Structure 1
Amino acid sequence: MNKKRKDFNVKKSLWIISVIAIACGACAREGAINLAAETSFIEKRLQGTLVNIPDSTLHIPRSIQKDGKSWRYVSYQDWTSGFWSGELWYAYELSGQPKWKEQAAHFTQELRPLAYEPVIDHDLGFQIFNSFGNAYRLTGVDSYRQVVLAAADSLATLFNPKVGTILSWPRAVPNMEWPQHNTIIDNMINLELLFWASKNGGADSLYHIAVSHAKKTMENHFRDDYTSYHVVVYDKANGKRRKQVTHQGFADISMWARGQSWAIYGYTMVYRETKDPVFLDFAQKVTDVYLDRLPEDLVPYWDFDDPNIPNTPRDASAAAVVASALFELCQYVPAEKGAVYRKKAELMLTSLARHYHTADGNTAILGQVTGHYPNGSEINTSINYGDYYYMEALLRYKNLRK
């Protein structure tokens, strides 16, 4: 090879390398999250919420009211009560600032009675694991662990061995054929409380209850295309399935966005705890049908089958839940698919940060969250679980980058 041709090939190679580098940089910027800016934004929002919390029994911020500024406050018994203290623990983890640890500990202790009172529904996982579970993880204080163990034992009392699942709503709810046994897809998240407890001083039976619930839900909660029903009602005496409904979705046959997000997050977590490849395969199936139907900005409408799309509310909370789940799921699947999942999660976070932050005057973090559309409640607003899972997704992204 003559010198001119050799020099040409070297220059060509360098040019190709530079083009690839530029392209990769553009891809990185497209999905890049400014963690410092997001952390600063979150801290300002949380501080704005703290200074306005009333001195009353109802002082846990749940959702922003119709005026777009004022919080609706609830007691420690509300199913969302653990998300607020969980946000404060995550703020401590994101920022390293001791003031968030102090506030988190204060609001966490208020939830302690839940672990020892008669259990009223399946939401102990949301309430206790998000508060006391994060508290123990970040501090190692054993009294926090003891509360989590007590809550797991309480949750286990709702398990019906004839059905194979935990009873979600032990009370009359419309269309649930009470006193038959109902199980909702949300309950998949609360299995983490049982798995964790079984490894940290609780009974082995807690693990088996969680696995039974996951398997039974996998068999009965999903359509042939892997979209999820919201609720399955079972005969409490013989365990047979009576009906499948989508209580908070558009219709029984529709894919309610947050319900599908619970399935994605739940089965990813169950695989982590069991290492059973059946659950990993299923986690991918419920994920892929969700990703395939997302709008361009990767934040779903409240129900994928609402005929009024695009003139219907979004649910940014579902996007936050799925982004968090994908940062975990991407580590369990083959590298090529894992890269796709991770990229989707990064783009979801970017979309939420750019287009779904709350406006000034609203001290929540994410807007455009939809709670119970058919009931006409908490529509196109801010709800604490959307903020909680957004912060969790940011933390998982941060840890993956390390």
Structure 2
Amino acid sequence: MWKQAIEDAVQKTRANIERFGSQFPHVSENGHYLLNDNDEWTDGFWSGILWLCYEYTGDEVFKAAAERTVDSFRKRMDAKVKLDHHDIGFLYSLSSKAQWIIERDEKAKELTLQAADVLLARWRPKGQYIQAWGPEGDPQNGGRIIIDCMLNLPLLYWAYEQTGDAKYKEVAILHADKSRRFLVRGDDSSYHTFYFDPETGGAIRGGTHQGYQDGSTWTRGQAWGIYGFALSYHYTKNPLYLETSKRLARFFIERLPEDNVVYWDFDVPVNADTKRDSSGSAIAAAGILELLTHLEANDPDRAFLEDGLQRSMKGLVEGYATIGQPDAEGLLEHGSYSVRVDLSPDDYMIWGDYYYLEALVRLEKGIKGYWYER
């Protein structure tokens, strides 16, 4: 099943190279990806898909296309085009860091270290967190963290490994600890976002930006947490991060619907019109795959997590993948960007496509993503 799904994804990606040209896919509208000139937070995912296809096939077509994206990211860094947010890890881990991991290209390594410095500049020492959005002192976002940032922290951990400069790892750990304390609730659910006093770091309140309501559990946020804390465990071996990833994963799996692909929020009232988020299920599956690599064979949670992984991936492949639709641009249907504001609530999501393919190639060939050195 996995091999057929990968071959389908590879064929579509090959066609998309010509369709997209030098532009980058974001989300879809009327069945077609909306393209941009590398100025979205999501543009690293296209690069990551190309690198995964190259590693799986060895086809130079994918390598050449992936290298062109890295050239684009170099230009984006030089011009500082919309790098004023925390999603630098999504952008550069899957583009230039991927090139470094695969090809050992020194220029790609240098570019990735530049990106780590851009992310590090969002550290707010007074509050002791990485600010998600907006400039320092922003009245709305100056004290805000969001759970998505757990997938950006690997860029800082990696920079520490490459340079030996402890500041990168120290900031990543402090932010992960704060995220664990304030974003993860006692019942193993999660807040999407949390607000602090930017001067003192004092806790104000939890909330949401894309979930159903402030106290609900946005499914994609829960998935970010599963994968992000597993990766923080990989880099630090702090058992609290492993425990947190397991807790978040169990909560996620226990609430899978009948077809095993999640709705956009675990607390939203479900009816015939309730939107799914296939991208949330794809991220969670990739995260559980990482989590499983850190568990002992006799871990009491292993069988439950493995079953949840298989159910999730089977649900995606059989019910949401565009297999059998040769002209489809996306790999997964029924992803949701932001249902709250009716922004691509039922469309292709390039990040969903990336994590879906990452999980598939890891299951089939053991090819990991680009979050750490292999």
- Asked whether the two chains share a fold, i.e. TM above 0.5, the reply is yes
Q: Which amino acid aligns with 1:34?
A: W
- 1:345, 1:264 → 2: CA distance? 12
Match for 1:229 among 191, 194, 198?
191
- 1:250, 1:202 → 2: CA distance? 42
- 1:138, 1:401 → 2: CA distance? 11
Match for 1:161 among 121, 125, 140?
125
Structure 1 residue aligned with 2:10:
43
Q: Secondary structure at the match of 1:64?
A: strand
**Structure 1 range deviating more: 164-173 or 353-362:** 164-173
Structure 1 residue 224: deviation in Å? 2.0
Structure 2 residue aligned with 1:20:
none
Match for 2:285 among 316, 323, 329?
323
Q: Secondary structure at the match of 1:150?
A: helix
- 2:345, 2:67 → 1: CA distance? 31
Match for 1:363 among 314, 326, 329?
329
Q: Secondary structure at the match of 1:313?
A: coil
Structure 1 residue 71: deviation in Å? 1.9
Q: Secondary structure at the match of 2:27?
A: strand
Match for 1:170 among 104, 128, 134?
134
Any conservation in 2 of the 1:301–1:309 contact (CA below 8 Å)? no
Counting matched residue pairs gives 362
Q: Which amino acid aligns with 1:362?
A: A
Q: Structure 2: which 5+ runs fail to align?
A: 369-374
1:333 aligns with 2:295: yes
**Structure 1 range deviating more: 247-256 or 356-365:** 356-365
Larger Rg: 1 or 2? 1
1:181-200 equivalence runs, <5 A: 181-200=143-162
- 2:141, 2:352 → 1: CA distance? 31
Structure 1 residue 178: deviation in Å? 2.3
Q: How much identity, in percent, do the aligned residues show?
A: 30
Q: Which amino acid aligns with 1:199?
A: E
Change (3 A) 1:400 1:179: closer
Spell out, residue by residue over 1:342-396, the C-alpha distance to the aligned partner (whole angstroms, 9 max, x if none).
3322332222111111244321111110001111111111011001001111122
Q: Which amino acid aligns with 2:37?
A: S
**Structure 1 range deviating more: 380-389 or 42-51:** 42-51
1:220 aligns with 2:182: yes
Match for 1:87 among 21, 38, 49?
49
| RMSD of aligned alpha carbons | 2.1
Structure 2 residue aligned with 1:132:
96
Q: Structure 1: which 5+ runs fail to align?
A: 1-32
Change (3 A) 1:202 1:370: farther
Structure 2 residue aligned with 1:301:
263
Any conservation in 2 of the 1:250–1:305 contact (CA below 8 Å)? yes
1:123 aligns with 2:87: yes
1:282 aligns with 2:248: no
TM-score (norm 1): 0.85
Q: Which amino acid aligns with 1:196?
A: W
- 1:333, 1:306 → 2: CA distance? 32
Structure 2 residue aligned with 1:151:
115
Q: Which amino acid aligns with 1:346?
A: Q
**Structure 1 range deviating more: 135-144 or 44-53:** 44-53
Structure 2 residue aligned with 1:34:
2
Spell out, residue by residue over 1:277-319, the C-alpha distance to the aligned partner (whole angstroms, 9 max, x if none).
1111111111111111111222100111111345311111111
Higher relative contact order (CA 8 A, sep 6+): 2
- 1:191, 1:388 → 2: CA distance? 18
